[in-house]
Structure 1
Amino acid sequence: MNILYLHGLHSKLSPQKRKILEIYGKVYAPDIAYEAKHIQPVEILKQFPDTEFNVVIGSSMGALNAYIISENIGRCALLFNPPLSKYKPVTFATTILKAVATKHIVLGGKDEVVNPAETLKFLGEHLATDELNIKTFPDLTHRIPLDLFEEQLKLFFSSLCY
């Protein structure tokens, strides 16, 4: 299984989280400079021209890009605190047969970086096009603790029969 993991703004995939992800497959985690351009799914995928990803996972700004990539390549996504109110449609050529791709979304009720209410509003406007599994944690802030990351990965992959 090939996993595309996209980190957030001013962040990187920690060694501990990488180790947990590697339980489920080969992890591709590019370093992305979001400062100049927040939305860059095409640029991200160009780094892996011969790789077919089975799932896309992202946190914060990486989750926004993971959402767009999931929409375009028809693969399931696990998204931690995605700032979907910043979403702009991006389409690109793909050789993958597209289908409705389930989105598993984790939101923190106390996130002061990404407003969970704005994300829920965006998702409400897309209920007819997306299959969504939304989990809110009232006391969660923007950072995803290791134990929650591990728990949500386990739930995500078990829903995919892995």
Structure 2
Amino acid sequence: MSTLYLHGLESKLSDEKRTILEIYAPVIAPDLDYKSNPNMIEFLYDTYKNQKIDVIIGSSFGGFVGYHLANLLGVPCMLYNPALPYRSGIEQIIPSHLAMNHPSIMRFVFGGNDSVIKAVDNLAFLFQNINDKSDYSIILQHDLGHQIPITVFEEQSKLFFESLHQRNLRDIKSFL
């Protein structure tokens, strides 16, 4: 199993958060310049479509890119305060010529106190774009702002990977 982590616009994956994710799987965390590549989603799709990416985790602008990439690759994702309804004037082309594979699980963590990306705007986007091929979990944490504290990241990562494990066990039992 491997995790593709997509950082936010002006951030990187911290060593602390990488350590947490590596408990569950090796982590790939490319250094991305979203501003200079309006085709970042297709670039990442082309880069990882033939690699074994099992999970996508993204934050803020990386959550926007992760949402669309997960839909293309068909892998589960967990997205923190994704910039789904708006992108701060940064152009990103959503490739409509590629087939959608829809992930089995999509987990969203929204900060009720996020002044950068409003949870209500993300919820409106999701309700307009929901598909019936994915199981959605939407976590709205009232006191959470845009930045994700290490304790929240650790707790949500544990819950996300546990849900993947439980789903895999159910799939195996139904196969038998």
Same fold flag (TM > 0.5): yes
From 78, 90, 95, the equivalent of 2:95 is 90
Query: How far off its partner does 1:108 sit?
Result: 0.3
Q: Whole-Å Cα distance in 1 between the matches of residues 21 and 4 of structure 2?
A: 10
Which residue does 2:25 correspond to in 1? 25
Q: Which amino acid aligns with 1:121?
A: A
User: 5+ unaligned residues in a row in structure 2: which ranges?
Assistant: 88-92, 167-176
Q: Whole-Å Cα distance in 2 between the matches of residues 120 and 149 of structure 1?
A: 20
User: 5+ unaligned residues in a row in structure 1: which ranges?
Assistant: none
Query: How far off its partner does 1:52 sit?
Result: 1.9
Q: Normalising by the residue count of structure 2, what TM-score does the alignment of the two structures yield? A: 0.82
Q: Whole-Å Cα distance in 2 between the matches of residues 148 and 104 of structure 1?
A: 14
**1:37–1:110 Cα change, 3 Å:** farther
| Greater helix fraction, Structure 1 or Structure 2 | 2
From 106, 109, 112, the equivalent of 2:109 is 106
Partner of 2:5: helix, strand, or coil? strand
Moved over 6 A (4+): none
Deviations 1:17-41 (Å, cap 9, x if unpaired)?
0011111111000001122346621
Once the two structures are aligned, what percentage of the paired residues are identical? Answer: 37
**Cα RMSD (Å) of the superposition?**
2.2
From 149, 157, 160, the equivalent of 2:161 is 157
Aligned length: 160
* Rg (Cα) greater in structure: 2
Q: Which amino acid aligns with 1:31?
A: D
Q: Whole-Å Cα distance in 2 between the matches of residues 123 and 59 of structure 1?
A: 16
Deviations 1:27-62 (Å, cap 9, x if unpaired)?
000001122346621212444464220010000000
Tell me if structure 2 keeps the 8 A contact 1:108–1:142. Answer: yes
Q: Whole-Å Cα distance in 2 between the matches of residues 105 and 116 of structure 1?
A: 10
Per mean C-alpha deviation after superposition, the further-off stretch among 81-90 and 57-66 is 81-90
Partner of 1:58: helix, strand, or coil? strand
Q: Normalising by the residue count of structure 1, what TM-score does the alignment of the two structures yield? A: 0.88
